Amino acid sequence: MLLLMGVSILSFAFMTLAPGDFFEEMRLNPQIRPETVSALRIQYGLDRSLPVRYARWAKSALTGDLGFSFAYDAPVAPLLIARGRNTLALALVATVVAWIIAVPLGVWTASRQGSWIDTLVGSATSVLLATPDLLLALVLLWLAVRTGWFPTGGMVSVGFANLDLAAKVRDVAIHMLLPVTALVLGMLPVLVRHVRAAVVEMLTAPFILAARAHGIRPQRLLYRYAFRTAVNPLTTLMGFSIATLLSASLIVEVIMSWPGIGPLLLEAVLARDLYVVVGAVMFSTIFLVAGNFLADSLLYICDPRIRTNGIGCD
């Protein structure tokens, strides 16, 4: 709660102290009288001091409105809920896909440390790690435009409402393919390197050497003992990976026209739509806190050393 309060205060203050506001451009229009602009500013409370405006916004946030959008002339919360659902779906799918690829790939390269496979995977992850997410998204969008194999924007096709359930799922999946690929390629190098490093560290642990001396098969030793012990730091990494994907998804959404929080936030910043910007920042912070809470909960369940009772991963 304190974190959310601090984020809201800072974002509110930065947006308020920035020069200009939503109604500033109206003053340049000779067809709009200055009295009309002043009346609008009074109507939306922009003539009040910063503490008063924040107090009014906080009161509306407690009721679930998150303020009122100047551009959409509607409460902010419904706008963000609809867009946040799309962003969350994109980030969760990308997170699942990235971990499904990263875990076996990282364990596999750790078991072949120093081999040509390990070198090849390490070089590939280095290249991806040095490539900005923006460039990855632009390259994928360029390929989609050149080949015509994938949609170049949006979440659904025209006539989506007339499709049956299976066709709707397939249509959304096709539209999701490019943004998910961009997010996975951006996050995969970090995950693969962390998985590999954690497993390599466990393979040199004394209990692993003792188990190897007892003649336990290498595959069982790798997955039953080394990887299970390396799960704890990887579980903590899950929360940070969700947060990273959420922040990266905002850029990908703008480039690929995915109807998430990213395009809404960009439009709100350009239009100086104060309460939409603050609400979008708050939603992103909530996603970050939820991801870390999920990681801590999984760590609590899986690690008996940080709990006194209850069932674990065994």
Q: What CA–CA distance (Å, rounded) separates 97 from 69?
A: 35
pLDDT digits (tens, 9 = 90+) for 100-155: 888 888 888 877 777 888 788 888 888 888 878 778 888 888 888 888 787 777 77
Separation of CA 298 from chain center: 19
Q: Which of 214, 251, 14, 266 is nearest to 135 (CA)?
A: 251
Strand residues in the chain grouped as ranges (E):
68-69, 74-75
How is 123-137 classified by DSSP, letter by letter? HHHHHHHHS-HHHHH
Structure tokens at 4: 């959310």
In this predicted structure, what is the pLDDT of residue 313?
A: 52
Give 223's DSSP letter: I
Across the chain, mean pLDDT equals 77
pLDDT digits (tens, 9 = 90+) for 42-52: 777 777 777 88
Q: What is the rounded average pLDDT of the residues 39-68?
A: 77
C-beta contacts of 216-221 below 8 A and 24+ residues apart: 218/111
pTM above 0.85, yes or no: no
Higher pLDDT, 179 or 2: 179
CATH class, range 82-306:
mainly alpha
Q: What is the rounded average pLDDT of the residues 22-41?
A: 74
Region(s) of the chain under CATH 1.10.3720.10? 82-306
pLDDT interval class at 12 (50, 70, 90): confident
In this predicted structure, what is the pLDDT of residue 123?
A: 85
Structure tokens at 83: 């867009």
Query: What are the residues whose beta carbons fall under 8 Å from the beta carbon of 152, sequence distance 6 or more?
Result: 141, 144, 145, 178, 256, 257
Q: What CA–CA distance (Å, rounded) separates 216 from 221?
A: 6
Q: Is the pLDDT of residue 213 over 60?
A: yes
